[in-house]
Structure 1
């Protein structure tokens, strides 16, 4: 079946509707008006006015209008974001909306383990909790959390809070139109499809607006070049490298290829579960043979993939059609 070589085969953002200084001026004017009314009105009318005065005072003092929390001076988390995080914590993680997944991820990125959502997200990752969304072609894509504060944001501002991996979707593609891995993941046809082409276009617009661009490390020269260098690409959807899947890449016959250790580090969800670097792993077993972005170390025609029995060191010719399991970050 596979060519030769080594085993070759939404929430709404709210804003305060008044400026604090404006509210104070209005408060002073109200005091003056109430003083005049009390002089000329009876005690019943005056009492009612005093009640309304107290309500206005409470509004000014709390910095809210109509029960909506005012924005913090100079930026920072908004009341809407905080409310979304709290709503996510209060429900079963499997029921998180896309907006809740995004806000939870951003809260974890900002606060780390101090985030009130951290424990909930980690428990969901450890349990293999699955989420789902409908693609533009009508099929349902299932996915799960695979990393926490793992990937570097492309803009250099820190880490992406959560990394997700597709677990079931009928997406298939070749890596390249011809059998070559020259140029690696960076120049591959599949990467172009995942970051602006037909695979990216399968994703709903709400999802597209939430995905964070991250930096991925890959040998982008050729798999059989022992002097190959690991370089950086910026990706929205991406595939995993061998180093991100296994704890220590298989080196028995790869001593001349040090770059295989430098294509990232093992994702948190795989730790203690994916331990075999050149044989089957129960955690990775599936009905699919799915692409990695790592080039073959044996020749210049193939890329790595994971077999149905969870073995991470198989190679497939670049023009061979394999399952694609996109990963991404919020």
Structure 2
């Protein structure tokens, strides 16, 4: 394991901010992580796990040890007539993992294709798209306790999954580094095509020699690429705000003033489309210096070149203020700010 000092994180955060870490290490094993946290304890600096860098805002140079979790490996643990149990290292790229599961005839994550980031970050956020969340197929994960260096297994219940939420964003925040995740996927495909655009795209495609799962995956990829910018071209962290969840009384009031408001039923309440709110507030394609909202999807904040963390966070606060003044709805940032 090689330790670096004053290491640039510019290429390791998808906003492309020019910030650095006091210490940085590339961890390719659990033992590497143990060595890193022991070093951090001696130096009295916090430990920050880093995956794909796609769901965070680095607010400046970091007086911390950043551990780039690069634990790899994918395997089919077991298979029966109904389920396929698969396990992946935390450093595996999420999209590549999804495509691998489909090739292994393990279904359920095709709707989550092309979501940026790595496997280890997926449970923290309980990532989801097009009616599917990872909790739907989650079995367990292993995580290293930063204080003790011991591996702990977390069950579905222990992860306390919620909408873009988990115990790792709350009680267990900053206490664990996820090392591997195990999922229980379906041996037979049960397509989830509840969203009209996705169903339409799938129905229009000729399957040819591909399975329907790959057709769904590629339809999801095309839809995402159509409305989301490539961070290699235009720095961004994907969806910057959660879709706010409101009671029916709040939705009814909004519908009186905005009959075309976009909302979806969600666990007895209603999920509003944050992108629609930002768009209707007149902020789609809006620029504030070098930071702005993407002109094809208002939910995405972008770095047009040269924007720093203060620029993006300042823009985010402006959007939150304008949306609240217009609709009385609070937007919560999705990426974590360090």
TM bucket, shorter chain:
under 0.3
TM-score by length of 1: 0.24
Larger Rg: 1
TM-score by length of 2: 0.24
